[in-house]
Amino acid sequence: MTTVLGLFNYWVVIVLMMTGFYIVISRNNLIKKVIGLNIFQTSVFLLYISIGKLEGGTAPIIEPGFDRYSNPLPSVLILTAIVVGVATTSVALALIVRIREAYGTVEEDEILEIDGAE
């Protein structure tokens, strides 16, 4: 039991990851796909950050009296990854705007229909 509860951060990650992935593949609306992608990426961020926290670890600033520090590196890495995620989202949304201008819709099935009719 403790193992299951003790691993709850991983369970959260898995749930978010699957949710995000499912949204990407099942939703036709392009904006919803992007949201799904975001959720998917966020789950991975949580994975990294959560493994950085050590049990009984304090903030990673050297202070006498403390001998266990949480790992600062994952948080740093994730800052970079969050930036990447933001950039991806903005490119995706820009593409969606252009798609809307070109096709008049942001529903994937309608776009396929329009292209298929060409």
Partner 1 sequence: MIREQLPALQIVLPLVAAPLCVILRRRIPVLGLAIAVAWTTFAIAVALLRQVLADGPIAYALGGWAPPWGIEYRIDPLAAFVLMFVSLIGAVTLTYAPRSLAREIPSDRLHLFIAAFLLCLTGLLGIVISGDLFNVFVFLEISALSSYVLIAMGRDRRALTAAFQYLVLGTIGATFILIGIGLLYAMTGTLNMADMAARLPEVMSTRTVVAALGFFSIGLFIKMALFPLHIWLPNAYSYAPSMVTAFLAGTATKVAVYVMLRFTFTVTNIKMSFGASDLGTVLIGLSLAGIFVASTVAIFQRDVKRLLAYSSVAQIGYMVLGISFASVTGLTATIVHLFNHALIKGGLFLAMGCFAFVAGGTRLERLHGIGKTMPWTTFAWVLGGLSLIGVPATAGFVSKMYLIRAALEAGVWPVAAMILLSSLLALVYVWRVVEVAYFMPAPEGAERREAPLSMLIPTWLLIGASIVFGIWTSASAGIAARAAEALLGIAP
Site residues (vs partner 1, CB under 8 A): 21, 24, 30, 33, 37, 40-41, 44, 47-48, 51, 74, 77, 80-81, 84, 87-88, 91-92, 95-96, 98-99, 102-103, 111, 115
Task: Specify the residue, 66 or 87, whose C-beta has the smaller distance to partner 1.
Answer: 87
Task: Specify the residue, 64 or 118, whose C-beta has the smaller distance to partner 1.
Answer: 118
Task: Specify the residue, 62 or 64, whose C-beta has the smaller distance to partner 1.
Answer: 62
R_g (Cα) of the chain, nearest Å: 20
The span from the CA of 6 to the CA of 56, in Å, is 14
Q: How far is the CB of 73 from partner 1 (least distance, A)?
A: 8
Q: How far is the CB of 35 from partner 1 (least distance, A)?
A: 12
Task: Specify the residue, 21 or 69, whose C-beta has the smaller distance to partner 1.
Answer: 21
The span from the CA of 101 to the CA of 109, in Å, is 16
Q: Residues with Cβ < 8 Å from 6, sequence gap 6 or more?
A: none
> Pick from 21, 62, 63: which is nearest to 39 by CA?
21
Q: Residues with Cβ < 8 Å from 101, sequence gap 6 or more?
A: none
